[in-house]
Amino acid sequence: MDVDTALRARISTRAFLPRSVDRDTIASLLDAARFAPSGTNVQPWNAHVVLGSTRERICREVRHAAVHERDLHKAPFDFYPTQWREPYLGRRRACGWGLYTRLGIAKGDHAAGAAQELRNFDFFDAPVGLLFFIDDDLPIGNWLDYGMFIQSIMLGAAARGLATCPQFSWAHFHRVVRPILGVAESRTLVCGMALGYADPAAPVNGYRPARLAVDEFTTWHGEGT
Ligand SMILES: Cc1cc2nc3c(=O)[nH]c(=O)nc-3n(C[C@H](O)[C@H](O)[C@H](O)COP(=O)(O)O)c2cc1C
């Protein structure tokens, strides 16, 4: 698969087949993604692959925290704006409604919405969970590096016929996740990622959020053919 095809094939997958991914495949994916660029080559990434019983334990404990003690858990950084405004608010709403329509969740059905949110903590049934950490004294520039690393994993996965979903939602539960994985307090949980084989029959995987056209976000300057 060429890079352009992988860019277009990658989607956030929210339903996976119960088919395992072998360790060598996961290792080869990370082995390719480590060539992502980073400013002065600092390579700020720290990835944890969670499988089998560890995956089960993390999912169980985070689901428990999400259901019973949601107010006690909060991501240590803002991912979404604290004050939504246009045009971002409209795009966000379109994305949410598009997804809920595919899932058959009616507007205002908060219970079904909450249940869908909880699915994050099953990695949407993907057999592989990835959890990404960064040293908390690293500045915003290194988070830019991190995004490149994460997209590299997702493109590499697409090229291998695998599916992914990047998941900020895990960051809220860093205090639950960190001790299970033995990660130092000085590391921030950036996000999680579900990795596995997409369920082609699941309607939710057919959702393709709209994208801006190039002219809507690009300004050209100067001459050139
Ligand atoms: C950093 C990041 C965090 C995200 N967190 C979540 C998440 O917690 N749960 C989820 O279902 N989708 C999550 N998404 C997926 C976005 O909703 C998705 O990328 C967006 O709607 C565009 O859709 P596409 O990825 O299918 O092209 C996240 C995406 C990114 C890049």
The tens digit of pLDDT for each residue in 134-192 reads 999 999 999 999 999 999 999 999 999 999 999 999 999 999 999 999 999 999 999 99
Q: Do 154 and 164 form a contact (C-beta atoms < 8 A)?
A: yes
Alpha-carbon gap, residue 152 to 158, rounded angstroms? 10
pLDDT of 43 higher than 90: yes
CA-CA-CA-CA torsion sign (91, 92, 94, 99)? positive
Measured from the CA of 119, which atom of ligand 1 is nearest?
Answer: 11
What's the 139 CA to ligand 1 centre distance in angstroms? Answer: 23
pLDDT of 24 higher than 90: yes
Give the pLDDT confidence score for residue 91 in this predicted structure: 97
Alpha helix positions (H), the chain = 3-9, 23-33, 52-68, 88-103, 110-119, 140-159, 174-181, 214-217
List the residue whose alpha carbon is closest to atom 9 of ligand 1.
167
Lowest mean pLDDT among 58-62, 107-111, 121-125: 107-111
Give the pLDDT confidence score for residue 25 in this predicted structure: 98
Which strands form 163-167's sheet, in the order they lie side by side?
46-50, 128-135, 187-196, 163-167
Give the pLDDT confidence score for residue 27 in this predicted structure: 98
Measured from the CA of 14, which atom of ligand 1 is nearest?
Answer: 11
Cis peptide, bond prior to residue 87, ω within 30 of zero? yes
Domains of the chain, each with CATH number or no CATH: 3-79+121-200 (3.40.109.10)
In short, whether 164's Cβ falls inside 6 Å of ligand 1 is no
pLDDT of 225 higher than 90: no
Measured from the CA of 95, which atom of ligand 1 is nearest?
Answer: 21
Mean pLDDT of 2-31: 97
Query: What is the secondary structure of 109-133 as a DSSP string?
Result: -HHHHHHHHHHGGGGGG-SEEEEEE
Give the pLDDT confidence score for residue 212 in this predicted structure: 98
Residue entry with tokens 């409209």: 90
What's the 136 CA to ligand 1 centre distance in angstroms? Answer: 23
Report the chain's mean pLDDT, rounded to a whole number: 97
